[in-house]
A and B are shown apart, each in its own frame.
Chain A
Amino acid sequence: MTDVATHRRTGAPRVGESAPRPDGVAKVQGRFAFSSDLFAENLLWGQTIRSPHAHARIIDIDIREALSLPGVHAVLTADDVPGELHYGLEHQDQPVLAADVVRYFGEPVALVAADHPETARRAAAAVVVSYEPLTPLVDSALAAQADPIHPDGNVLRTLTIRHGDLDATAAVVVEGTYEVGMQDQAFMGPESGMALPSADGGVELFVSTQWLHADRRQVAGCLGLPEDMVRITLAGVGGAFGAREDLSLHVHLCLLSQHTGRPVKMVYRRPESFVGHVHRHPARMWYRHHADTDGTLVKVEARLLLDGGAYASSSLAVIANATCFAAGPYRVPHADIEGTVVRTNNPPCGAMRGFGAVQSCFAHEAQMDKLAAALALDPVELRRRNALATGDTLVTGQVITGAAPVAEVIDACASHPLPDLAAVDEQPMMHRPGGAGRTADAHHVRRATGFALGFKNLLFSEGFDDYSSAVCRLENGAVTITCACAEVGQGFVTLAQQIAREELGIDEIVLAPAETATVGSAGSTSASRQSWMSGGAVQAACRAVRGRVLQQVARRRGVALDGLVLRDGIIESLDGSVRVDLADAVDGPIEETAEYHHRPTQPLDENGQGDAHVSFAFAAHRAVVDVDPELGLVRVHDMTTAQDVGRVLNPLQAIGQIEGGTAQGVGLAVMEELIVEDGIIKNRSFTDYLIPTTLDMPTVRIAALIEEPEPDAPFGAKGIGEPPTISSTPAIVAALRAATGLELTRVPVRPQDIALPRS
């Protein structure tokens, strides 16, 4: 072992810098393997037969004709499920394949494997399912009293918050009822994957997902296999936003593969994708706010009703969020809030970015504006007066111990200079409401601004230990990081390299594939948790490796361990007697596994009180919109935002999350809704489920990223993915109200809501 005379150059970006994505080159060249790009020799194609009814009894399934078609290798039904017949994220209530009853439009009933996707499609059409249609339960308000549509009942969860004095009153009272329609995650990469049978009787599954190990638990259960015989590897994910937290085609692919003994690939087409995953919960919310004449909030009453659709998914956690955050990021001494999520024959709902807080924020921000109007107070000032801060108590009784720079977030956003927009009469036609449709001239258009503030928790809650694991291996001077964190586009892969570089001072960090066989669970890519949890696991694993390296060097050189440091890839002693390159410092590989846990949280008691959450993040938006009130068409010009981020780990990626989240908020405000009639989704295509295009998307300007370090978080960094989706929608609707004078109690706001308000 020789001492190194030259200093190692460590130029690659570390934590806090805009490191480029390691998968960027492959993605721009079209070489990156998404789960729909997988290929294998001897491949078969799978297809799912789905229910055309929202609610029906299955009388018979006749597979004979389908099975007889040339090129068809398997036709499977519920009878072919060898293990557990049901799966579920929180609650095991969802059938792998429906056996005697279907409970939602599109519910999987049977499967086909064939040698060409068109053959599979024709075989699927040849499966004859006889149904006895039943009246679907589609009104969430009736669900609790209606006959159960599932043995587990129609009420998935009710949560009550009773905080302070429920009889408290105040001088000014405003009331309102609000509604949020069903938004869809609408990721670009369709559900897809490939399963291959293993020689030991197990199965290999390559799939797009958010949580490999939760998938493995459920898949193994349904296949009747021990978990270590189900090997799941993350295939390239084309976006997730919550829709991949539940299983979709996972068990189906494995069943077909096991049955045929061949690799089987399945790719959902877009209309199938729209029924193939959970959606954002539609919500109806009644609120009553009480405040003193100086604007101090005294009490918030709320009744929230979320429609969970046919199966539980993560509804129990979504209603907890919606209820816990129902009063908004404000000091509210007294609260009487009840949240209920029910089962209906509507499409199943579950996780979508924002997870319950989106729905509540729309309502509580509308209420705050109503209150401001009743008090003749500036809406921003009203929020300032009531804004939470570190040390304040939430309506759940939890004291905020971490960073809570809410006042700074409000001020940064509200005081940011208004955009230098062309005046209404100077806007080009394409940027007027109606755009290329040429519907408006300048004098038909009104411009207004709106402001909103939102928050939610980071990480999982109510006692859930959503730990993450990572492995760091140092061998011949090269570092490999293994972590099962699902990269869905958010850029964790970039961060993992930055963190490893920060801890070990080596530029070249290799990321091993994310798979269940080689590393423990990283938890879900959701709840804005991965930078914290998997970042923390990677950091801990790297630090453990660093510790062992220093120990070895200390032992060999006979120097004190506490006199050694590892910096920029060099181990040196403070007195200068030791100076050795990390690559030469140790014999043989050093590998360490870390499991990173956040501090424990508590369940909520019967009054909804408890330290249920780990941390909170806050964001504000200010929207500038132009409206054509006579036609109800809208153009969102500018979204200015400020967000509480703890610490920026990668500025370019942070901007990407904020712009992308804001886009989804814009969509919910003015154009995105799954239209469900009698349980049937009417707009199962990008033709009719509209997400913003380049011609719809406003400029997003970041007024400030407030960096008040979060004490418990690695690098002090908070997750940033969800807050931008929360306050964006209500800010836009606030602007629309200002422009039109209308109440606008529902999102998405449709043209007729503005143009024909009373119909």
Chain B
Amino acid sequence: MSNVVVPTTLDEALALLAADPQLSPLAGGTDFMVEVNHGARRPVRVLALRAVAELRGWRRDGDVLVIGAGCTYVSMADPAFAVAAPALAQAARTIGSPQIRNMGTIGGNLATASPAGDTLPVLMALGARVEVASTEGTRTLAVDELITGVKRTVLHPAELITSVRIPVARGPQEFCKIGTRNAMVISAAGIAVVLDREAHTVGCGLGSVTAAPVRATDAETFAAEAIDWSTLRAGAGTTERFGTLAADAATPIDDHRSTAAYRRHAIGVMARRALERCLS
């Protein structure tokens, strides 16, 4: 009886999970192994997901990008991916280090549900849909339905995130993140701004400044109405007001990485600049 299983199909993986409540799923390991190494997690039996074909890679399905939960951050550096999902590609580039980007996965970012997860504000701004599966079937959740608090998801032990669906870019997108160092830095504050030229909507996701993922909905509504969608321009004061509204949606804390006041300030500045870039 092996304590490590390496299934090659999703059905196999789900069946194993359903049969064994002590089986821990392992994807890239960039969060899982940190916990093990620190003594915070003591695995009993492990389900390695790296060989499950259905979880790998990404594909374009018309207007939708379907990203496998096992898609690594480095895969998002692919120019074709960056064209379809610019803000997500930008975010992926800021995560960790080249080593981490080779190993870490978008599914892991969602399942770990850290408030500082760099893909989360982008996925929120895009209105991403997360597909979750078990032997009982599948369900589709918004990111803020999946993640309910700091490192808290609604996932049942026998469920796996299988894919994330986002709309292919239909307008300018920006991702910005604050870190006191230029590499390998946990975001003190992050933001994603997504413009949809066809739907005339603005998506704005905030990172590291709320317990659970949040969209700055007042800022989104304001900008959507203020932007002239035919020229992608907006009147004076629009980006500043957008920044203020985005900052108002943040509920940051003081911690050893930064202060609440700075984080709120940074959100406001980044939101303004991100929208300026989108409109220029």
Contacts and interface: CB of A to CB of B under 8 A. Distances in A.
A binds B: yes
Interface residues of A, number: 40
B180 A751 contact: yes
B37 A688 contact: no
B179 A437 contact: yes
B60 to A, nearest CB: 25
B273 interface: yes
A631 B265 CA distance: 8
Given A439-B177, A631-B266, A752 B182 contact: no
A444 to B, nearest CB: 7
B253 to A, nearest CB: 13
Contact of A696 (B181, B187, B188, B277): B181
A436 B184 contact: no
Interface in A235-271: 269, 271
B54 to A, nearest CB: 31
A509 B100 CA distance: 43
B257 interface: yes
A437 B180 contact: no
B174 interface: yes
A438 B192 CA distance: 11
B269 interface: yes
B242 interface: no
A634 to B, nearest CB: 9
B158 to A, nearest CB: 28
Contacts of A692: 181
A141 interface: no
Contact of B178 (A631, A686, A687): A631
A695 B183 contact: yes
A271 B178 contact: no
Contacts of A751: 178, 180, 188, 258, 262, 266
Contacts of A631: 178, 266, 269-270
Contact of B186 (A434, A439, A671, A687): A687
Interface in B239-280: 255-259, 261-262, 265-266, 269-270, 273, 277
Contact of B183 (A435, A439, A630): A435
A756 B256 contact: no
A682 interface: yes
B90 interface: yes
A438 B175 contact: yes
Contacts of A438: 90, 174-177
Contacts of A759: 259, 261
B178 A695 contact: no
Contacts of A436: 93-94, 177, 182-183
Contacts of A271: 38
- From DSSP, what is the main secondary structure of chain A's interface residues? loop
Contacts of A670: 180
A437 B178 contact: yes
B259 to A, nearest CB: 6
A500 B176 CA distance: 57
Residue in A631, A675, A750 whose Cβ sees the most chain B Cβ within 10 Å: A631
Nearest to B276: A441
A425 to B, nearest CB: 14
Contacts of B62: none
A631 B267 CA distance: 10
A633 B269 CA distance: 12
B74 to A, nearest CB: 14
A435 to B, nearest CB: 4
A693 B180 contact: no
Contacts of B137: none
Interface in A674-716: 675, 677, 682-683, 686-688, 690, 692-696
A383 interface: no
A121 interface: yes
Nearest to B191: A439
Contact of B266 (A430, A435, A694, A755): A755
Contacts of A633: 178, 180
Interface in A718-758: 750-752, 755-756
A437 B256 contact: no
A163 interface: no
B39 interface: yes
Contacts of B188: 751
B90 A752 contact: no
A755 B186 CA distance: 19
A464 B29 CA distance: 52
Contacts of B180: 633, 670-671, 690, 750-751
A613 interface: no
B185 interface: yes
Contacts of A430: 182
Contacts of A630: 269
Contact of A752 (B179, B184, B186, B258): B258
Contacts of B259: 752, 759
A41 B141 CA distance: 55
Nearest to B184: A693
A635 interface: yes
B186 A696 contact: no
A755 B262 contact: yes
Contacts of B262: 632, 751-752, 755-756
Contacts of A755: 262, 265-266, 269
Contact of A693 (B183, B261, B277): B183
A268 B265 CA distance: 39
A693 B265 contact: no
Interface in B158-186: 174-186
Interface in B176-213: 176-188, 190
A2 B277 CA distance: 84
A750 to B, nearest CB: 7
Contacts of B38: 269, 271
The residue in B174, B184, B190 that gathers the most chain A C-beta atoms within 10 A of its C-beta is B184
A756 B186 contact: no
Interface in B24-38: 37-38
Contacts of A750: 180, 258
Interface in A499-531: none
A694 B39 CA distance: 30
Contact of B182 (A125, A441, A635, A756): A635
A688 B90 contact: no
A630 B262 CA distance: 11
Given A437-B176, A438-B176, A694 B269 contact: no
A439 B94 contact: no
Contacts of B257: 683, 688
Question: Max chain B CB contacts within 10 Å: which of A437, A438, A696, A759?
Answer: A437
A497 B188 CA distance: 49
B177 A690 contact: no
A436 B177 CA distance: 8
A756 B269 CA distance: 12
B176 A688 contact: no
Contacts of A694: 183
Contact of B277 (A125, A441, A756): A441
Q: Which 10 A-B pairs have the closest CB atoms?
A: A435-B182, A682-B256, A752-B262, A695-B182, A437-B177, A675-B256, A693-B183, A695-B183, A690-B181, A436-B94
18 contacts: A437-B177, A437-B182, A439-B176, A439-B178, A439-B269, A439-B270, A441-B277, A631-B266, A635-B182, A671-B180, A683-B257, A687-B186, A693-B181, A693-B182, A696-B181, A696-B182, A752-B259, A755-B269
Given A121-B39, A269-B37, A683-B257, 14 more contacts: A434-B176, A434-B179, A436-B94, A437-B187, A438-B177, A631-B270, A670-B180, A688-B256, A690-B180, A690-B181, A750-B180, A751-B266, A752-B258, A756-B265
